[in-house]
Amino acid sequence: VRQLKISGKTGESNILIGESLKNLGNYINTEKSVIITGPNVYRFYKEDFPECRVIEIGSGEKVKTLDTIKYIYEKFIEMEVDRSSTVVGIGGGVVCDIVGFVASTFMRGIDFGFVASSILAQVDASVGGKNGVNFSGYKNLVGVFNQPRFVICDINMLRTLPLKEVKCGIAEVVKYAAIKDKKFFEFLEGRSRNILSIDLDVMEEIVYKSVEIKSEIVNRDEKEQSERRKLNFGHTFGHAFERISDFSHGEAISIGMVISSKLSVEQGLLSSSDGSRIEDLLKSLKLPTELVGSSEQIKDAIRKDKKRDGKMINFVFLEDIGNAIVKQISISGLESIVDGMY
């Protein structure tokens, strides 16, 4: 088991890579704790859960709502959950986001931890202290910053993850390598087959490197005022594609990263051969790289980006593989860029 730490203003988080769900009982008082999980993970891993009360919620983005939060508060009252309890989310990013929010708000905040079961949850959603739910069509609109006390990344659980979800998580992994670590990028370039077949040794290395990169960034900038913005590489366009197509988040940001790389090349920041390497790696991981939608649709979606700052948007470019820079560009500038792409 390898450990990484996040020391945030909202607490310390101990991330355990290679730890097993079977050992969860060592981290909590099982008599007082409550596990929250989704149907798929419960079905596959029920036997590995410690003897502990369980609240099962539904699955998918559609359950990330205040209605689910209300349902859990009601269950907590019924179960007499109190300040001495720990709430543990076992599942993907949806479960982690819900559990972080519900535990941070019930009785003004009780102890919580995660067993992250998807690649996306292990490398991204469980790390960094952002928790929350969707509201009125806006993603993650209602939430808090608060660090889980522990995160268990059980690599074995990735064996049952559907391929679609593997690709979704791996797009964020490529992002970490592209913005921060050239060596890691090279490691990924040689291992697309191992990744798609979920080779557990390779996956463990990938999860560790990704968490290392994200935790270093979060340790420097917990609330996204500077360094953490780099994590939005590919996301301005990605979010737009996610809105206007049936692509998953990971697939959409894959296209977003290709476009951002091309723009970096156009701006003379990145060499065109490095731009192609990014596209090639994403293709080898079976992720989409071609533009979707009309220019009007993309512009409209960009205008709705919640990370915009008035008329400006912080856009992430690459200067090199492993080195990102954030530049403010105007929304209108970005709109002409979109027009130029057609």
Ligand X SMILES: NC(=O)c1ccc[n+]([C@@H]2O[C@H](COP(=O)([O-])OP(=O)(O)OC[C@H]3O[C@@H](n4cnc5c(N)ncnc54)[C@H](O)[C@@H]3O)[C@@H](O)[C@H]2O)c1
Q: Round to whole Å and give the CA distance between 79 and 153.
A: 27
The count of other CB atoms within 10 Å of the CB of residue 254 is: 32
Least distance CB 10 / ligand X (angstroms): 13
First to last CA, the chain: 49
Beta-strand relationship, 11-17 and 2-8: antiparallel
Strand, helix or coil for residue 30: coil
How near is the Cβ of 142 to ligand X at its closest, in Å?
12
H/E stretch holding 172 reads: helix 163-180
Asked whether the beta carbons of 285 and 196 are under 8 A apart, the reply is yes
If the CB atoms of residues 120 and 313 are measured against ligand X, the closer one turns out to be 120
Helix extents (H) in 190-327 = 192-196, 200-220, 235-244, 249-266, 272-284, 295-303
Cβ atoms 222, 8 nearer than 8 A: yes
Quote the least distance from Cβ 134 to ligand X, whole Å.
8
Query: Cβ of 52: how many Cβ atoms within 10 Å?
Result: 17
Nearest CB to ligand X, comparing residues 160 and 276:
160
Q: How far apart are CB 288 and ligand X at their closest, in Å? A: 17
- Greatest C-alpha distance within the chain: 61
| Cα–Cα distance measured from residue 85 to residue 81, given in angstroms and rounded to the nearest whole number | 6
Q: Residue 94 or 151: which CB sits closer to ligand X?
A: 94
Give CA–CA dist 196/214, Å, rounded. Answer: 22
To the nearest whole angstrom, how small is the minimum distance from the Cβ of residue 66 to ligand X?
14
The residue sitting closest to ligand X, measured at its beta carbon, is 93
**Nearest residue (CB) to ligand X, 94 versus 278:** 94
Nearer CB in complex with ligand X: 254/264:
254
Tokens of 124: 């991204």
**Of 257, 338, 341, nearest to 298 (Cα)?**
338
State which residue, 89 or 275, has the beta carbon closest to ligand X.
89
The nearest distance, CB 43 to ligand X, in angstroms, is 9
- Nearest distance from residue 156's CB to ligand X, in Å? 9
Q: Least distance in Å: CB of 272 to ligand X? A: 30
Cβ proximity to ligand X, 19 vs 165, nearer residue = 165
Q: Which residues bind ligand X (CB under 6 A)?
A: 38, 40-41, 44, 59-61, 64, 91-95, 97, 117-118, 120-121, 124-125, 128, 130-131, 139-140, 157, 160-161, 165, 168
Q: DSSP state, 224? A: S
The nearer residue to ligand X, 170 or 334, going by C-beta atoms, is 170
For residue 246, the SS3 value is coil
Minimum distance between the CB of residue 309 and ligand X, rounded to whole angstroms? Answer: 20
Q: Tokens at residue 221, please?
A: 């900038």
Q: Is 207 left (phi over 0), alpha (psi -120 to 50) or beta?
A: alpha
Residue 87 or 334 with smaller CB distance to ligand X: 87
